[in-house]
Structure 1
Amino acid sequence: MDNNNTTRLLNKDWTFTQIGGGQGTEDNEWLKTSTFPTTVHVELLHLKRIPDPFVGLHEWDVQWIGEAGWAFKTSFEATEWEFSGINIDLVFDGLDTFSVVSLNGHKILETENQFLTYRVSVKKQLTIGTNELVITFPSTFLKGKDLEKKDAQYHCWNGDPSRLHVRKAQYNYGWDWGPVLLTVGPWRPIYLHTYHTRISNLHISAQVDEDFETDLIVRFAPSSPSASGTAEVLLKDPSGSIVARQGNVRISPGVTQAFFHFEKGAVKLWYPIGYGEQPLYDVQVKVFNDQRQVLDNQVQKIGFRRVRVVEDKLVDQAGLTWLFEINNIRIFCGGSNWIPADSFVTTITPERYRAWLQLLKDGNQNMVRVWGGGIYENDIFYEICDELGILVWQDFMFSCGQYPAYDAFLANVKVEAEQNVKRLRHHPSIVILSGNNEDYQIAESLKLDLDYDDEESDFRGTNFPARHIYERVLPAIVKEHSDIYYHRGSPYSGHKKATTDPTYGDLHQWNVWHGSQESWHSWNILAGRFVSEFGMQAYPNIRTVDYWTGKKVSERYPQSRTVGNHNKAAGFERRLELYLIENFKHAFDMESYVYYTQIMQAETLAAAYRVWRRNWAGPGREYTAGALVWQINDCWPVTSWSIVDYFLRPKPAYFAIARELRPYTVGIMRKHRKDYANKRTLAHFTITSQLEIWGTNSTLEKKNAKLQVTSFDLEQPDWSDRWEMNVTLAPNASTELWKGELPGQPVRTRESEVPKSIVVSTRLLDEDDTIMGRCSNW
């Protein structure tokens, strides 16, 4: 019987060595890998040939790995049966990063991009019997330095600037939350693919109109232009039942297409968390030869949904909305930014991905942003997001840099973008593709050639050449190969405005912590139309601190060298203490310091979500349409802006944010008003304290509730004030509930009069007195 289409993973009997010998291995000493795919750090750590770089200062004891050359090899058998296929390819789903691949002594491939899949025809080099596959990896760091010397040195925030010339996960070069660990090796699967004809480009487009009528267009092309035969296209619902079928579709030399139209209700729509279910349909394409033998069979899961990014005028503010509308429903996006969940991504199991993403769902978050300094995530990440109803904002992999755009770099990027758009486009969870992270901001900061009025010039001739990538190359590829909305960068305002303009596009609000280091009580005046980054640092769980100190008691204090190495943010000591001293009287022992930073982070981030959800005030008043905290996770044990640490241990901020993202919430703001007796005095005035109370409702139905407000004086325990009122929360909006003077607080006429310590607690109760939301203010 002919071998029409088989794949075989080459994941056994791999060994590796340091080229020329050194600290890792002796010269020509080949060590067996413990797993595959893998990278050098993982294997040396498994063999105890290096210390754990996550402990103590050992990060700096393994820097030589990134500057050495390495090789991996395996032997495998090829059978006569496999040779019966017309085509035999070796497929490399990911090689990190520069490499030369040889099969039986013949060079078959050179690579220069971690984010690419490489496919090589090897029938001529393959033999029946034993075959040897060798992959040699020169130092990515040194190759990057060579490219930098050949072209130019550009500017960047974080890491060595040579990273800008290398298509590799940029965070490996070190970030303000991550170590310098330059990984190397075969980081994604390698397999042997034997076939006659394969489907080389399956493109499924599910287009849902405003009335929920749906067109499903399935396009595919055979790998061989001379292929003949037929195809069958099936659509199966979540139960496996066939919803639609087209059989005996004649394969054309170019692209073959099958078209389906569904009236409203014929297929179920996919919704994000909190707005409906997440039905996933299978699209199955089978290709037959003229003898009705199956040549290829591919299945992709899809969801039917209508996505728009809406920029509308506002009723009473300048600028435009910038919001996501899913199936005609305008969505407030509350979520997180995502970085790679490990410095060694091959160690992230599907179970670990699921645990992370389940934390998002359990925390009432409905969006995750895959940040542009990491990786295009593994398929399982997006599959889980599809299943759970988590919206995905996907960056292209450019971050915090003045990237080049010379010919070879541009050609490399084009293939990378096309491959990854094609790989990811069928996922219903992915609602936006963004060109970069903060590259427009670095251009503004450095005063590079960036004229937002100029859309026509040859940007490659400027000192901001990557603008050509973000405004010409990437949007063209996204438009040609997907239906996903493209955004030039994050942040990016559009409309000829700077990235700091809060009235257009998305905003990275770093004037708390970075920038002008505003008080976190000022979130209400630091809002934007969509705040895609903001944050506050906190220490992780004390057990995580003990992990990195290696239980070395002498290093177990906030100012120790080891603790300092596990916080990569510039000036973190001063900034942490600035925010702590403004808000707390605190101690400095390790447990206390951990606790106080965590409480500060929780209060800071909860306050942001609280006031920005207030800005989601209904049609024409969607002043803030989203808030994505920086960040949900860590790539190693560290003090950072994460709300869950490396070991999946949530910080208090995780729970505080979950409370503020419940379907129903209540918020309080306290304001102090100073009125002078007349325009000619500074001595005569009154100071009054006022409260503003609002509620939010993310459901699509109005909600009747009871508002309870309790005030008490911390220094006068026998005094309190309690009252309640019936309220109605508008659907999918915030509602102003009450405004008035702060109970128990006398009017002050002198600055020397110390205000009373009045704490106000408010609750929203359902008809059966179930607590729907709560908030305290002091």
Structure 2
Amino acid sequence: MYSTYRVLVICVIRIFSDAVFVNGIKYSLDSSNWLLDNRDKGYTKLQATVPGGVYTVLMEANVIDDVFYGFNDIETRWVSKTNWNYSTEFFLENDVLIKKEKIKLVFEGIDTFSTIFLNDQELGVTENMFVRYIFDVQSYLKRGYNRLEVRLKSPVNEAKKLFDEQSKNYSIVPLCVPVEYNGECHVNHIRKTQASFSWDWGPALPSIGIWKSVYLQGYDTVIIRDVTIKTENATKNFWNIDIYVYLDGCMQDENVEGIITATINTDIGKTVLKTRNLCTSTNSNGEHVTILSGSIDKSYVKLWWPNGYGNANLYTVYVSYSNVKRNESSNKTFKIGFRVVELVQDKIESGLLFYFKINNVPIFAKGSNSIPINILPELAQNKETIKHLLQSAKDVNMNMLRVWGGGNYEADVFYELADEYGIMIWQDFMFACNMYPATEEFLENVKNEVRHQVRRLQHHASIIMWAGNNENEVALRQNWYGSASKFKTFKADYKKLYVETIQTELLRSDNTRPFLVSSPSNGLQSIQQDYVALFPQSNYYGDIHFYNYFFDSWNTTNYPIPRFSSEYGYQALPSVNTLLTATNSISDLNISSKFLQKRQHLPDGFKKMTNLINFRLRLPDENSPDFYKAYIFNSQVMQAMSVKIETEHNRQWRSSFNEQGLGHVMGSLYWQLNDVWVAPTWSGIDFKGNWKMMQYFSKHFFAPVIVTGDITLNGDLNVYVVSDLTHTIFNANVTMFVYNWDSMTPLHSHIIKTNIEANQSKKVLTVKLENDLLNIANGSCGATPTRKCFIYFTVNSDNSEATLSNYVFPVPLKFANINYANVTITAIKEHRSPDQQFTITISTNEIALFVWLEVNNNIKGRFSDNGFLQITNEKNVTFTPTDYVILDDLIRSLTVTHLMSYM
């Protein structure tokens, strides 16, 4: 085993279209002409749309209310515990389709268990939400009307049946989710979105439906079913290219005429690869694969880079099959990016390193974890929502998102935008926080899933790693679910699933990226210890997940120093405006309400949240009428500052080690980016698309260059300048200001002249905090200087990349001598060139903390800054609306608040 997992990566591509055929012989069955029936419940001929789902049909028909409102997630649970039938009729007369020798019915996605009938003839069954199902229907179709029926079974009932069958041997744990989740049991026995049976951040909505496209395909010879591509950085001057074309329709001993052509558009003309060798070779799965090989001069293309490191250059590829004699063709079009990926795990004295290199450049991974775009998969395809989330990630300097293993493989547009925006994707397979069966039937089901999803996604430049599961290695070793009594059995199952099945099947379709068996994992060290490390989440290896609910989250001494932090985070409530989209009662916004208690799925969640708030902030009396507003605001302050401090802590240690050999932290991915309902969660963006304070903060703590201060156990203040840039910034000035809470004029300033080194964290100053503050300006900080004063930093240079600021509060703010500030909006100016924007002037008579601007739900948009520390009498902030806004409407909607409003 090499100490560094190096992958000479390949071109990566994105498929934009399904196979297209001449003579119009792809016949789409996507429409609103479907019917949904459940005779047991008395529902017949409900109008349904495909792609779609049962929950959305019932909401549109007013059979059930909005499942995201009130307690409807619980009250509508009956929907998932009964069977439903989809049906449609379509008319075929003298269509070219009906005359074809081969006709296939393709379901791109069925959720999940169903039996398919065409003209009352059973075609087959489905049992995996993540698999494309293809049925040969040539002998079942007829001229005139044809009837297609999809009989869907309850996923909850099917999971229970599979559990009961498995339990004849031994029970797969956990037996159910915690009671606080208000969820369903045994989701680990079925292959659908694991979070659909509930999670600590989401409701149980066990979806059912036809969530992706359905169509008929007719052809005489062959069609292109899938394409994968491999590019190898083989020589100084050329990229070697292998394009794998998976054909459907090849018959044994059949001589298929025709030609397959791949055209790659480059900066300098086109590169064309061709072959006439069709249906002549098969892979280990017995599939017919045609390989086109060639090379491209490196001067013809530019590299694909992550966000912040260069342009995410993409190139269009067109792969086609053509048979002139039969007047038949099919094709696929996609985009590729040229880059080299390495997961470096070099051995050092204190363990192993763990970080990514792209194009031989070490990358500090900055980003978040994405959960399903929507817990109802048919709604998770919404392109505008996906674009908002990916654009939000790009705009705050993220370069990586981890697609978490308990959710969906996201929609195609998600990966297309990640390619375009330069956002690296850490792609989990869909297994999380459970032990899983290892029966022959289950493993075969998983093989089909891996094969389909890898070929669908392999093409993307953005996907830089596969991971087998979320948290299952550590769960097994640490006995999270009571597996210790059968440890050997569950370990054997673990290896059968993730190593022998998933890894093996993955490598058959893609060997161009690293594979991590689990996250968190000790990486190569886990492999050396037979895939289940003795001490998972060691800070000396691999990646870790870390959550802190019991200690001061603004104190870095409570944080680990890992190699790579792939999960960490804190809960906060969404805004009042967002909460009122899920209830119409103000009383429901108190944390003691039944509404919020049902939506708080973290055990003792509000107790933990309150505890963390109380370390640093002061909540008003619980009986005060505005307590709910204060609690919501303070929860967002606590979350934003906690994630800020932990992220900056990770970045401080990117290029150094402590005396114990800890350090070289090269990744910081907080939990979580988005929401699937209105509730207290770890998200930075709430269910309505509004940014919490943490999301605004991330623009600063993920900036390419930051200045940050850290207070040690002995009271030293260490000041760091951290840079992710690949070039050095010379002659920068780091200025440390000391402010008294009573004045907007600093008491003292100290300038450190330094170079900001490329890809480095550099400590530029250490001061004895309390002693030095005592001596500032003849004792102007008073007898208790850490309560009376705080530290503010700026960095300035001739290079605009290094114009930034930050702050350190020496004591909890509840103990600081902060004056009440009168913060008001004193001016709003509209600009319309090139797009509509508003400049908002905020005025204050005192230093103001966490100044928060907000508009109501009728106006969507984003502020250039929010939740900020205001140390000047006036500050201008830009508001960019999503849609056109009348100035008077914005004036009426806009509000401003700050910390002292609630202390």
Q: What's the TM-score once normalised by structure 2's chain length?
A: 0.78
CA deviations on 1:592-613 (whole Å, 9 max, x unpaired) are 1111000010100011111111
CA deviations on 1:521-563 (whole Å, 9 max, x unpaired) are 13674121111100001111211111122x2133232211112
Structure 1 residue 77 corresponds to structure 2 residue 91: yes
Write out aligned runs for 1:477-626 (5 A). Answer: 477-482=505-510, 483-494=512-523, 495=525, 496=529, 497=533, 498-510=535-547, 512-513=548-549, 517=551, 519-522=553-556, 525-549=559-583, 551-587=584-620, 588=622, 589-617=627-655, 623-626=664-667
Q: Which residue in the other structure is 1:422 paired with?
A: 455
CA deviations on 1:43-101 (whole Å, 9 max, x unpaired) are 11112211222222222110100101101111111233212222111100111110011
Decide whether the 8 Å contact of 2:705 with 2:801 is kept in 1: no
Decide whether the 8 Å contact of 1:610 with 1:667 is kept in 2: yes
Decide whether the 8 Å contact of 2:476 with 2:487 is kept in 1: no
Deviation at 1:251, TM superposition (A): 2.5
Decide whether the 8 Å contact of 2:271 with 2:296 is kept in 1: no
Choose from 757, 760, 764 the match for 1:737.
Answer: 764
Choose from 282, 307, 313 the match for 1:273.
Answer: 307
Decide whether the 8 Å contact of 2:37 with 2:46 is kept in 1: no
Q: What's the TM-score once normalised by structure 1's chain length?
A: 0.90
Mark the CA change 1:618 to 1:279 in structure 2 (over 3 Å): closer, same or farther. farther
Choose from 254, 276, 284 the match for 2:318.
Answer: 284
Q: Which residue in the other structure is 1:132 paired with?
A: 147
Deviation at 1:13, TM superposition (A): 4.3
Structure 1 residue 59 corresponds to structure 2 residue 73: yes
Measured on the aligned residues, the alpha-carbon RMSD in Å equals 2.5
For 2:224 and 2:391, how far apart are their aligned partners in 1? 34
Deviation at 1:671, TM superposition (A): 2.8
Deviation at 1:518, TM superposition (A): 5.8
Mark the CA change 1:221 to 1:55 in structure 2 (over 3 Å): closer, same or farther. closer
How many residues get paired?
739
Decide whether the 8 Å contact of 1:459 with 1:466 is kept in 2: no
Decide whether the 8 Å contact of 1:233 with 1:245 is kept in 2: yes
CA deviations on 1:145-190 (whole Å, 9 max, x unpaired) are 0110011232235554411111111111010011111110111111
Write out aligned runs for 1:371-770 (5 A). Answer: 371-446=404-479, 461-462=489-490, 465-482=493-510, 483-494=512-523, 495=525, 496=529, 497=533, 498-510=535-547, 512-513=548-549, 517=551, 519-522=553-556, 525-549=559-583, 551-587=584-620, 588=622, 589-617=627-655, 623-673=664-714, 689-704=715-730, 705-714=732-741, 720-742=747-769, 744-746=772-774, 756-757=786-787, 758-767=789-798
Q: Which residue in the other structure is 2:367 paired with?
A: 335
Q: Which residue in the other structure is 1:94 paired with?
A: 109
For 1:327 and 1:463, how far apart are their aligned partners in 2? 37
Deviation at 1:566, TM superposition (A): 2.0
Q: Which residue in the other structure is 1:321 paired with?
A: 353
Q: Which residue in the other structure is 2:264 paired with?
A: 236
Structure 1 residue 21 corresponds to structure 2 residue 40: yes
For 2:546 and 2:459, how far apart are their aligned partners in 1? 32
CA deviations on 1:434-493 (whole Å, 9 max, x unpaired) are 000111122123289999xxxxxx999546513311122111112221112110011111
CA deviations on 1:390-431 (whole Å, 9 max, x unpaired) are 100111111100111011111101111111111111111001
Choose from 366, 370, 379 the match for 1:347.
Answer: 379
Deviation at 1:630, TM superposition (A): 0.5
Choose from 196, 204, 211 the match for 2:229.
Answer: 204
Mark the CA change 1:276 to 1:554 in structure 2 (over 3 Å): closer, same or farther. closer
Q: Identity of aligned pairs, percent? A: 27
For 2:482 and 2:676, how far apart are their aligned partners in 1? 35
Q: Which residue in the other structure is 1:217 paired with?
A: 242
For 1:182 and 1:150, how far apart are their aligned partners in 2? 21
Structure 1 residue 187 corresponds to structure 2 residue 211: yes
Deviation at 1:639, TM superposition (A): 1.1
Mark the CA change 1:621 to 1:426 in structure 2 (over 3 Å): closer, same or farther. farther
Deviation at 1:713, TM superposition (A): 3.3
Write out aligned runs for 1:256-271 (5 A). Answer: 256-271=290-305
For 2:296 and 2:662, how far apart are their aligned partners in 1? 35
Choose from 348, 373, 396 the match for 1:363.
Answer: 396
Q: Which moved more, 1:701-710 or 1:210-219?
A: 210-219
Structure 1 residue 774 corresponds to structure 2 residue 805: yes
Deviation at 1:386, TM superposition (A): 0.7
Mark the CA change 1:204 to 1:718 in structure 2 (over 3 Å): closer, same or farther. closer
Helix, strand or coil at the partner of 2:508: helix
For 2:572 and 2:144, how far apart are their aligned partners in 1? 57
Helix, strand or coil at the partner of 1:594: helix
Decide whether the 8 Å contact of 1:66 with 1:141 is kept in 2: yes
Structure 1 residue 295 corresponds to structure 2 residue 329: yes
Mark the CA change 1:649 to 1:112 in structure 2 (over 3 Å): closer, same or farther. same
For 2:326 and 2:302, how far apart are their aligned partners in 1? 33
Helix, strand or coil at the partner of 1:345: coil
Unaligned runs of 5+ in 1: 452-457, 674-688, 748-752
CA deviations on 1:264-288 (whole Å, 9 max, x unpaired) are 3332211111111122222222222
Q: Which residue in the other structure is 1:750 paired with?
A: none
Decide whether the 8 Å contact of 2:104 with 2:135 is kept in 1: yes
For 1:209 and 1:543, how far apart are their aligned partners in 2? 56
Mark the CA change 1:207 to 1:476 in structure 2 (over 3 Å): closer, same or farther. same
Write out aligned runs for 1:131-150 (5 A). Answer: 131-150=146-165
Mark the CA change 1:621 to 1:282 in structure 2 (over 3 Å): closer, same or farther. farther
Mark the CA change 1:381 to 1:501 in structure 2 (over 3 Å): closer, same or farther. same
For 2:411 and 2:85, how far apart are their aligned partners in 1? 24
Deviation at 1:717, TM superposition (A): 8.5
Decide whether the 8 Å contact of 1:100 with 1:136 is kept in 2: yes
For 1:768 and 1:422, how far apart are their aligned partners in 2? 44
Mark the CA change 1:618 to 1:265 in structure 2 (over 3 Å): closer, same or farther. farther
For 1:429 and 1:480, how far apart are their aligned partners in 2? 20
Q: Which residue in the other structure is 1:455 paired with?
A: none
Q: Which moved more, 1:178-187 or 1:755-764?
A: 755-764
Q: Which residue in the other structure is 1:162 paired with?
A: 186
Mark the CA change 1:756 to 1:637 in structure 2 (over 3 Å): closer, same or farther. closer
Decide whether the 8 Å contact of 1:405 with 1:469 is kept in 2: yes
Structure 1 residue 309 corresponds to structure 2 residue 343: yes
For 2:398 and 2:237, how far apart are their aligned partners in 1? 26
Mark the CA change 1:121 to 1:252 in structure 2 (over 3 Å): closer, same or farther. closer
Q: Which residue in the other structure is 2:134 paired with?
A: 119
Deviation at 1:208, TM superposition (A): 2.3
For 1:218 and 1:770, how far apart are their aligned partners in 2? 41
Decide whether the 8 Å contact of 2:114 with 2:151 is kept in 1: yes
Choose from 15, 29, 32 the match for 1:10.
Answer: 29
Helix, strand or coil at the partner of 1:262: strand
For 2:681 and 2:114, how far apart are their aligned partners in 1? 34
Q: Which moved more, 1:552-561 or 1:319-328?
A: 552-561
Q: Which residue in the other structure is 2:842 paired with?
A: none
Letter in 2 for 1:169: T
Helix, strand or coil at the partner of 1:124: coil
Letter in 2 for 1:766: S
Unaligned runs of 5+ in 2: 1-20, 282-288, 776-782, 810-903
Letter in 2 for 1:484: R
Q: Which residue in the other structure is 2:887 paired with?
A: none
Deviation at 1:109, TM superposition (A): 1.7
